[in-house]
Structure 1
Amino acid sequence: MEKMFSPWRQIYMDSFKDEKPKNKQAGNKSVFADIPEEEDEERLVLYRGKKNFIIMNLYPYNCGHLLIVPYQQTPRLADLDEETRLEVMNLMDIGMKALTKVMRPHGFNMGANFGQVAGGSVDTHIHFHIVPRWEGDTNFMPLLADTKVISNDMKKAYYDLREAILEIVQ
């Protein structure tokens, strides 16, 4: 891959430093905020920790795409206390162990999108992604038809992953 450096664009990029980002959700509760425990199954919440919870992504890149979400709604990692950040990492590990047990992926993508321009669709509530990956899971459908085929039943995956997580944390 060729790279082209354009340092003259720095002037343009600097012009946005003082501008407040346009945020459709500013001041509103996110879709992750205050999910009642009685809605866990319906909303696909797999596990509740002390400071964070694990939920299945309703719009997954691959089946089994999990999110680790702090109960505290904030867009900034710096706003989370040390205990919350540590539990995020522990829940990432538990999520990957459960996915390995249930779905046997060949690898994982892990990460977070900070801000709408970085791909954060819920940019007012920080959350972390675990995406299971399989050899050959990228094919012509997303490339040519802008369509991702998810072959697994989400509810079955939910029950299997929830059971695996409960076995792991016991």
Structure 2
Amino acid sequence: MGAFRVVLTPWRYRYIVSGESRRGCFFCEYIGRPEADRDNLVFFRGRYSIGLLNKYPYMWGHVMVAPYRHVGDLEELDDEELAGLLREAFLVKNAVVAAAGCGDVLVGINVGRAAGAGVESHLHIHIIPRCREIAPDTPQEELDEMLKRYRDELARLWS
């Protein structure tokens, strides 16, 4: 049995302790504002979903894929939406592998608060490469710039 590794993510901790909360759903806000995709770290708009970087990632390179329709569970999607969402999440996973330069990827869906969903009202799929760590003392400005470069690389893979 392998040992667990604790990964320190101060950028996520800063988000948690800040008490930052939003009115409404940021996924729906981002979906409705394609002109702000770069600022919102949206790199992909498919037929069924958008792909965006997590501004407060669990691990470096953490992206999310969310359906256009505001639903809280997979069962609320019709068959076409579900198949399209999963197909686009697979394509995004492939882009993450290429951009991050590794094949080890965690893919997950948290449904409900007890399962760890931070935004429980809008279903989303997490895609997290497990090959690169960022130093805990990385300045926020540098992290923001790294996220933008990564977002641009993911967007380039879609063009």
TM-score by length of 1: 0.69
What is the alpha-carbon distance in structure 2 between the residues aligned to residue 85 and residue 42 of structure 1?
28
Please give the residue correspondences for 1:71-90 in structure 2 after superposition, counting only pairs within 5 Å: 71-90=68-87
Candidates 97, 101, 114, aligned match of 1:100: 97
Gaps of 5+ in 1: 2-23, 142-146
Q: Secondary structure at the match of 2:37?
A: helix
CA deviation vs aligned residue, 1:122-143 (integer Å, no higher than 9, x gap): 0111100000012x859xx8xx
Gaps of 5+ in 2: 2-20
Which residue of the partner structure matches residue 29 of structure 1? 24
Which residue of the partner structure matches residue 165 of structure 1? 158
Q: Does 1:59 align with 2:56?
A: yes
Which residue of the partner structure matches residue 46 of structure 2? 49
Candidates 84, 96, 115, aligned match of 1:118: 115
Query: Structure 2 vs 1, CA of residues 159 and 84 (structure 1 numbering), >3 Å: closer, same or farther?
Result: same
Query: Structure 2 vs 1, CA of residues 76 and 39 (structure 1 numbering), >3 Å: closer, same or farther?
Result: same
Do 1:54 and 1:66's aligned partners in 2 also have CA atoms closer than 8 Å?
Answer: yes
Q: Secondary structure at the match of 1:33?
A: helix
Q: Secondary structure at the match of 2:39?
A: helix
How many residues are treated as equivalent by the alignment?
134
C-alpha deviation, 1:113, in angstroms: 0.5
Do 2:97 and 2:105's aligned partners in 1 also have CA atoms closer than 8 Å?
Answer: no
C-alpha deviation, 1:71, in angstroms: 1.2
What is the alpha-carbon distance in structure 2 between the residues aligned to residue 104 and residue 55 of structure 1?
18
Query: Structure 2 vs 1, CA of residues 148 and 97 (structure 1 numbering), >3 Å: closer, same or farther?
Result: farther
What is the alpha-carbon distance in structure 1 between the residues aligned to residue 81 and residue 100 of structure 2?
27
Which of these two proteins has the greater Rg computed from alpha carbons?
A: 1
One-letter amino acid of the counterpart of residue 99, structure 2: V
CA RMSD after TM alignment: 2.6
